[in-house]
DNA sequence: ACATTTTACTTCATCAGTGAAATATGACTT
DNA sequence: AAGTCATATTTCACTGATGAAGTAAAATGT
């Protein structure tokens, strides 16, 4: 994979030059955007890499983890779509795949028969408990050299950014 | 689109529960990872949304911007692959599309005739200069409420994270 | 009570992106 | 000059994601 640091150095120069041609550009903010995008996709790559041996992709994993983290280990496709930010179509596919592997079950809801209840199985829980720990060292290593204040700060700033993105969303076409 | 803030709240509870079952999990770090991933993909979504009216996707845009930001407005497929973190296959496709729209040209290199020189055209530059400014308000809005120190800090922390990810990369399978 | 609308998924056709392998060409090494 | 390496493109098979339409059940209006 390409060195992130190189790309960043290159980007910094690029932004510098562009902001000389187009001075009204919010250069600092644009740079932060690109940084977020780069680090985000690098992180995604890293995650997919760790998931590959388990034959899972990001959405599969996320779906499974949401179920795992539920007190009762269950949810519905609609809810999973919302929290995993996936389309319904995709969630059907993910669910199919996980059911086939015996990690979750799909059942009809008693109250509302339109609804489908998805539940993690005992095998699913064991699977998560086995695959998760080997990831921990790399996760920790990502934050090497971060003080407690750094981590708090990063969390706070990302939260603020998330909030602003939510406000932005009422999609007024630019 | 789903509210990021909801997803974050849900994630916080989820991590809390998981870390009770699996106490050795680096909970703070894992939470920051997920935050980064969520904000990153939301940002990506926002970007793609802004690009759609121009019939560009993220890779197309990035490729074009790299060329635009070059003093001489030119590069090679290999270099573009590196900085846009794209595979060669994809870069060929991107280049084809941009050439067809007259935004860039593909020519043979004088010194090394294996090489292909990709250059942004005058039309390409005009295109960038026209499409970029309407994005600025949204970019600025993303960082509403950020002090100068906040922006500096975010930049610093993302840079540090990027550095750690680079160190991590020597892919020792977990 | 019946018709309409809404909600919850699923199915199907399609598309963008990716990896692997094949091809072509040119440069470098000895 | 021959062999090896580097650069770029093309082809192909595949995965993952998406949009449009379809089905079924429940909620709502009249």
Do you know the residue count of chain B?
174
Report the distance separating Cα A164 and Cα A150, nearest Å.
21
Report the candidate in A34, A172, A157 with the shortest Cα–Cα distance to residue B145: A157
Cβ within 8 Å of residue A45, ≥6 positions away: A1
Band of pLDDT at residue B173, cut at 50, 70 and 90: very low
pLDDT tops 70 at residue A1: no
Return the pLDDT at B129: 95
In a domain, A165, yes or no: no
Do A118 and A95 meet the contact criterion of CB atoms below 8 Å apart?
Answer: yes
pLDDT at A174 over 60: no
Residue the block writes with tokens 């593909």: B106
Same domain for A129 and A59: yes
Confidence of residue A173 (pLDDT cuts 50, 70, 90): very low
Residue A146 lies in a domain: no
Report the distance separating Cα B99 and Cα B55, nearest Å: 14
Of the candidate ranges B48-52, B66-70, B155-159, the one whose mean pLDDT is the lowest: B48-52
Q: Do A69 and A99 belong to one domain?
A: yes
Q: Would you say the C-alpha torsion B79, B94, B44, B86 has a positive or negative sign?
A: negative
Do residues A64 and A126 both lie within one domain? yes
Which residue is associated with the tokens 């005009």? B126
CA dist B48 → A21, A137, B21, B41, B61 (Å):
24, 33, 38, 10, 9
Q: Mean pLDDT over residues B10-37, rounded?
A: 96
Q: Which of A85, A136, A171 is the closest to B49 by Cβ? A: A171
Confidence of residue A170 (pLDDT cuts 50, 70, 90): low
Say if residue A36 is in the same domain as residue A59: no
Q: B95: which nucleotide lies closest, measuring CA to C1'?
A: D9
- Tell me how far apart the alpha carbons of residues A89 and B43 are, in angstroms, rounded to a whole number: 22
Helix, strand or coil, per DSSP, at residue B110: coil
- The residue ranges of DSSP E strands in B109-165, in sequence order, are 116-120
Q: Is the model's pLDDT at B109 over the cut of 70?
A: yes
Q: Which residue has the tokens 């990001």?
A: A58
Collect all residues with Cβ–Cβ distance below 8 Å to B45 and sequence separation of at least 6. Answer: B1
Same domain? A82 vs A129: yes
Between the ranges A149-158, B67-76, B108-117, where is the mean pLDDT highest?
Answer: A149-158
Q: Are residues B39 and B98 in the same domain?
A: no
> Are B134 and B59 in the same domain?
yes
Picking from B24, B135, B146, the nearest residue to A133 by CB comes out as B24
Q: A40 in a domain, yes or no?
A: yes
Residues of A in contact with B31 (CB under 8 A): 155
A135 with A68, same domain: the answer is yes
Please say if the pLDDT value at position A111 is more than 80: yes
**Quick check: A160 and B145 in contact, CB under 8 A?**
yes
Q: Which domain holds residue A85?
A: 55-139
User: Does a structural domain hold residue A155?
Assistant: no
- Percent of chain B scored above 90 by pLDDT? 74
Is the pLDDT at A95 greater than 60, yes or no? yes
Burial group, residue A27, by CB count within 10 angstroms (0-12, 13-18, 19+): middle
A33 and A44 in a common domain: yes
Residue B135 structure tokens: 């994005």
Q: Does B79 share its domain with B40? A: no
Contacts of B54 (CB under 8 A, 6+ apart): B127, B131
Residue B174: predicted pLDDT: 38
Looking at the domain assignment, is residue B162 inside a domain? Answer: no
Q: What is the pLDDT of residue B169?
A: 67
Mean model confidence pLDDT for chain A: 93
Domain total of chain A: 2
Asked if residue A97 and residue A60 are part of one domain, the reply reads yes
Q: What was the pLDDT predicted at B67?
A: 94
CB A148 within 8 A of CB A102: no
**Residues B62, B13 share a domain:** no
Q: What is the pLDDT of residue A14?
A: 96
The answer to whether position A150 is within a domain reads: no
Q: Averaged over A153-162, what is the pLDDT?
A: 97
Pairwise CA distance, residues A148 & A41, whole Å: 24
3-state secondary structure of B108: strand
Question: What's the CA gap between A154 and B31, in Å, rounded?
Answer: 11
Q: Do A157 and B160 touch (CB under 8 A)?
A: no
CATH number of the domain that A65 lies in?
A: 1.10.10.10
Lowest mean per-residue pLDDT among A13-22, A91-100, A151-160, B87-96: B87-96
Distance (Å) from the alpha carbon of A14 to chain B's nearest alpha carbon: 5
Mark which of B54, B73, B91 sits at the end of a domain: B54
Across chain B, mean pLDDT equals 91
**B20 assigned to some structural domain:** yes
Distance B89 CA to D13 C1' (A): 14
Q: Residue A99 — very low, low, confident or very high, per pLDDT cuts 50/70/90?
A: very high
Q: Do B158 and A36 touch (CB under 8 A)?
A: yes
Which nt sits closest to B90, CA to C1'? C17
3-state secondary structure of B16: helix
Q: Cβ contact (<8 Å) for A165 and B134? A: no
Q: Is residue B165 part of a domain?
A: no
Residues in contact with B113: Cβ distance below 8 Å, sequence separation at least 6, in sequence order: none
């Amino acid at each position: 994979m390409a060195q992130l640091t190189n790309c960043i150095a290159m980007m910094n120069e690029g932004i510098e030059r562009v902001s000389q041609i187009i001075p009204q550009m919010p250069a600092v903010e644009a740079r932060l955007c690109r940084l977020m995008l780069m680090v985000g996709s690098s992180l995604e790559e890293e995650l997919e890499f760790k998931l590959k041996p388990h034959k899972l992709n990001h959405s599969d994993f996320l779906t499974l983890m949401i179920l795992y983290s539920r007190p009762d280990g269950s949810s519905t496709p609609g809810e999973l779509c919302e929290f995993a930010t996936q389309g319904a179509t995709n969630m059907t596919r993910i669910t199919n795949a996980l059911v086939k592997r015996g990690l979750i079950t799909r059942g009809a809801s008693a109250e509302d028969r339109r609804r489908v209840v998805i539940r993690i199985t005992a095998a699913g829980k064991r699977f998560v408990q086995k695959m998760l720990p080997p990831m921990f060292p790399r996760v920790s290593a990502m934050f090497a050299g971060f003080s407690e204040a750094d981590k708090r700060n990063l969390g706070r700033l990302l939260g603020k950014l998330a909030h602003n993105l939510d406000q932005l969303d009422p999609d007024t076409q630019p």
